[in-house]
Structures are given as C-alpha cells and as structure tokens.
Amino acid sequence: MRNRDNVFKRSYPQLKMTDIELIEIEKRLKNASKGPWKSVIEGRDHTSGDDFIMTGIGQGEDIWSENRGKDIYVTGATKSDVDFIANARQDIPKLLDYIRELKSKLDNKK
C-alpha cells in the first residue's frame, strides 16, 4: 500500500494541498452567496425559462421566502455543469471538513 501511495504522490504532485490552500478555499466559500444552492433545470424542474441556480432556499422552504438570495445564471453551461456548480456549495464544506479530519488523523500518527 505504501509503495502505491508513493507512486501516486510522484505521479500527481499537484494534488498535494497545503493549509493555506484550504484557508483560501474556505474564504471563497464564505464570500459566495449563502446556501443552500439548488439547480433548477428547464424540462426537469420547471416547464419554461432558463436553467439557473436558486440560492438561499432550505429543504421544504417556500421559493418565495424572503430568505431566498439572487438567482445565478451560468452562460454556456450544460445541465450537468449547472447541477455540479449548485451542488458544490453544499459539497465543498463537507470536503473541507473531511480533509481536515484526515489531516488531523495523519498528524496524530506521526
């Protein structure tokens, strides 16, 4: 297993992430529109209009709630791109927490 890990590290050195990079990602996350974000796709989620990302609406919350943020429109994006971008708002905090947890476990093993 260790040999395979070393090969991976040599093959993909750009994948190493520093604490500074984690902090920069977290800053971008904090500066983004408040979540959660939800992709709204024509033909799947509504019958007419553009694909867009709805911001600030929680599960089961009315879409006309005063908590709703501004909609985000992504020009030239595929429906899968819109889904990816919208879900990144929820996925990135989880990934940051998981990375920090793993880094902490690795540091404790040293």
- Cβ contact 56:33 at 8 Å: yes
Mean pLDDT over the full length of the chain? 88
Q: Is the dihedral of CA 13, 30, 54, 91 positive or negative?
A: positive
Under 8 Å between Cβ of 40 and 53? yes
pLDDT band of 73, cuts 50, 70, 90: very high
CA dihedral 74, 75, 79, 80 (to 10 degrees): -70
Contacts of 81 (CB under 8 A, 6+ apart): 74
The answer to whether the peptide bond before residue 93 is cis (omega within 30 degrees of 0) is no
The structure's pTM equals 0.78
Tell me if 69 sits within 8 A of 53, measured CB to CB.
no
Alpha helix segments (H runs only) across 32-78: none
More confident residue, 76 or 62: 76
Write out pLDDT tens, residues 11-42: 666 667 888 999 999 999 999 999 999 999 99
Q: Structural domain boundaries of the chain?
A: 33-109
Q: Give pLDDT, residue 8.
A: 57
